[in-house]
A and B are shown apart, each in its own frame.
Chain A
Amino acid sequence: MGRSGRQRMVIPFILPAFILYTVFFVYPAVQAFWVSLHDWSGFGQNMVYIGLGNYREMLKDTIFWAAFRRTLYISVVGGIGIFGLALFFAQILQRNLFGKRFFRSLIFFPMVVPGIGLGLIWQFIYNNDWGLLSGFLKLVGLKSLNLFWLAPDHIIQSLTVAIIWSYVGYYMTILLAGIDKIPVTYFEAAVLDGASEWKMFFTITLPMIWDVFVVALVLWIIGSLKIFDLIVATTFPAPPTSTYTLSIFIWVQAVGAYTPVYRLGYATALGVVLLLMVVISVGFVRLVTRREAIEY
């Protein structure tokens, strides 16, 4: 490793990526904090410094709090659904089932479909009149269960189901990769000792994939808080305020879903809150899930 001449490569090799990343991503993100301290009603207008005014307004904004709760709902309820199913599927698929690759690919597939496509598909599915779900309920004679799936009363649950279906394959694949790395001998020994499936899952599988599990959880939190296109497309046109999540609310405040709003300072302050939510919840998860790594 004594090739100290390589130090000369460091700057020219890193610089292009560093500049592009800094200029087009980090710089606007840093600037966002400054913008969030202003009242700014349009790109042609002047910014007026109001200190923490936007954040104070947020505390009293009922739409913001409702959006905040819905965002958490998707993150928590969707997360429970996704990780419950992902662990379950990964647990099934770890046996070298015939057709393992087929099932894995199929469950993963929605992940590669554009969010806009998924959203529109779910809008079609949830169409109360001619949609797939209503059609299915009519077919099996449960017409009475047919609801207005995208009405304000049900929309957040409907969206969460759509989100679980779309994302479960991604987390299943990550967990499955972790499970497949566990030496088979561990399970063989456990089977010889007469351990049940459940016991093996909690005493071997879960502890040994813990690191992977935590990474997957962090990825989900980051991802779930900013889900946008799927929700926009499902609720198109112009989602009612009663269905906003934080990411939608930010968009509406920045440019308006239908009619221009242009509350640029407020929208950016909401973006800062979204970032804080990411940082705090990732920190929280890392703290709660901290555990000594198991080497094998």
Chain B
Amino acid sequence: MTTQTAIEPKKPAQNFRRRSWLSNIPYYAILAVWALITVIVFVWVIENSFKTNREVFKDPWKLPATPLTAAVANYTKAWEVSHMQVYFMNSILVVLASVLIVVAVSAPAAYVLSRVPFFGNSTVTYYFIAGMGLPFQLILVPLFVMLNKMHLVDTLPGLILVYVGVSIPFTVLLLTGFFKTLPVELEDAAAIDGCTDFGIFWKVMMPLGAPGLITAAIFNFISIWNEYLLAMLLINSDKLRTLPLGVMNIRYSMQYTADWSALFAAVVIVIIPNFLLYGLLSDRIMSGLTLGVSK
């Protein structure tokens, strides 16, 4: 394969989209190298979670000798001894609650902003979207003080409310973009048939907008599942940690135990839910990505 990369086709193809298989070879080679690196990285991480500690420190190209026993030991250690099961449940709870609330409050707002002309519409839209430029680092201290006064520091409801607040800008942007692509005619038809305004939103727009709502939910799921900085600021107790905090906690205690193989197992556990979500829904993620971006 690689020896042929030097051959560069000189003649422009007859049809742009239907070029010959041969002329694509150099491009395949480049893509293949990048893809290979990515695959090797993740396979290596998974493979190391099937190794004993001693094997991890040896040749990285050697296959695990006792994959099953090592894996059972590593994953049990991560899941039970290092409390990953607790962190996992916390993460599920926080993420599901946050996603549900953020979509539930952003959808009506985005609907009104994209459909109802009212005085100050564009100002309010800008107000919502401006939050996308706010770095979390800016709000750390005031946020902590405020939540402390509300007795919400080191509680999961506090973390959920913060996640909802910071996720609204992106969700509103995505959903206004999506609602604008939906045809107005159906709403008008429903209005002529005597449907109330709320009825139009609930019975016409929500079913039509379902793909957009699902896309928004997936994006928020992934970003909240991955969030680390705010969780680290607000959560202190071990039993309330989310997965990213938990993994870093394992990394922290590892300075004394040097149990790298269990850490590899922990990293695999954090990645798996997103991997499954991505495997099932990658097309929707890809198309959703450009929803808020393009015109």
Task: Tell me whether B228 and A108 are in contact (CB under 8 A).
Answer: no
Report if A21-B270 is in contact (Cβ < 8 Å); known contacts: A10-B116, A95-B17: no
B60 in complex: contacting residue of A130, A268, A272, CB < 8 Å: A130
The answer, yes or no, to whether B143 is at the interface (CB within 8 Å) is yes
A148 on interface, CB distance cutoff 8 Å:
no
Contact B60 A13 (CB under 8 A): no
> How many residues does chain A have at the interface if contact means C-beta atoms less than 8 Å apart?
109
* B16 contact set on A, CB distance < 8 A: 95, 184, 187-188, 190-191
- Interface residue count for B (Cβ, 8 Å)? 109
Q: Judge whether B15 and A188 touch: CB under 8 Å.
A: yes
Asked if B44 is at the interface (CB within 8 A of a chain A CB), the reply is: yes
Contacts of B271 in A (CB 8 A): 113-114, 117
Other-chain contact of B24, A3, A97, A216 (Cβ < 8 Å): A97
Closest to B192 in A: A3
Interchain CB contact under 8 A, B274 and A114: yes
> Is the CB of A64 closer than 8 A to any CB of chain B?
no
User: Within the complex, what minimum Cβ distance (angstroms) separates A114 from chain B?
Assistant: 4
Residues of chain B contacted by A160 (CB below 8 angstroms): none
Q: How far is the CA of A114 from the CA of B270 in the complex (A)?
A: 7
Q: Are A229 and B278 neighbours in the complex by a CB distance under 8 Å?
A: no
A17 within 8 A of B: yes
Contacts of A228 in B (CB 8 A): 136-137, 228-229
| One of B63-71, B72-80, B101-109, B209-217 at the interface | B101-109
Interface string of B120-135 (1 = CB under 8 A from A): 0000100010011111
Which of A73-81, A151-159, A231-239, A284-292 touches B? A231-239
Residue of B nearest to A93 (CB): B31
- For residue A229, which residues in chain B have a CB less than 8 angstroms away from its CB? 226, 228-229, 244
Q: Any chain B CB within 8 A of the CB of A14?
A: yes
> A246 to chain B: which residues have CB within 8 Å?
137
Q: Assess whether A271 is in contact with B248, with CB atoms less than 8 Å apart.
A: no
Quick one: which of B45, B162, B222, B289 contacts A121, CB cutoff 8 A?
B45
Q: Do A95 and B24 have beta carbons less than 8 Å apart?
A: yes
A25 → chain B closest CB, angstroms = 4
Binary contact track B252-295/A, C-beta < 8 Å → 1, others 0: 10010000100110010011001101100011011101100111
From B31, B58, B109, B251, give the contact of A13 (CB < 8 A): B109
| Cβ contacts under 8 Å, A17 to chain B | 105-106, 108-109, 128, 168, 172
29 pairs from A and B in contact (CB 8 Å cutoff): A3-B191, A13-B108, A13-B111, A14-B108, A16-B108, A17-B105, A21-B165, A28-B142, A32-B141, A89-B34, A92-B27, A95-B17, A105-B278, A112-B274, A113-B226, A114-B271, A132-B60, A135-B61, A139-B61, A170-B289, A173-B286, A174-B293, A191-B12, A191-B15, A195-B12, A251-B137, A251-B140, A271-B141, A279-B133
Chain B residues proximal to chain A, CB less than 8 Å = 12-17, 19, 21, 24, 27-28, 30-31, 34-35, 37-42, 44-45, 48, 56-61, 101, 104-106, 108-109, 111-113, 115-118, 124, 128, 131-146, 148, 161-162, 164-166, 168-169, 172, 184, 188, 191, 197-198, 201, 222, 225-226, 228-229, 233, 243-244, 247-248, 251-252, 255, 260, 263-264, 267, 270-271, 274-275, 277-278, 282-283, 285-287, 289-290, 293-295
Interface contacts beyond A89-B31, A250-B137: sample of 14 additional A-B pairs, CB < 8 Å, sorted by A:
A6-B116, A9-B116, A17-B106, A18-B109, A20-B168, A92-B30, A93-B31, A104-B286, A107-B35, A124-B45, A130-B57, A177-B286, A191-B16, A267-B141
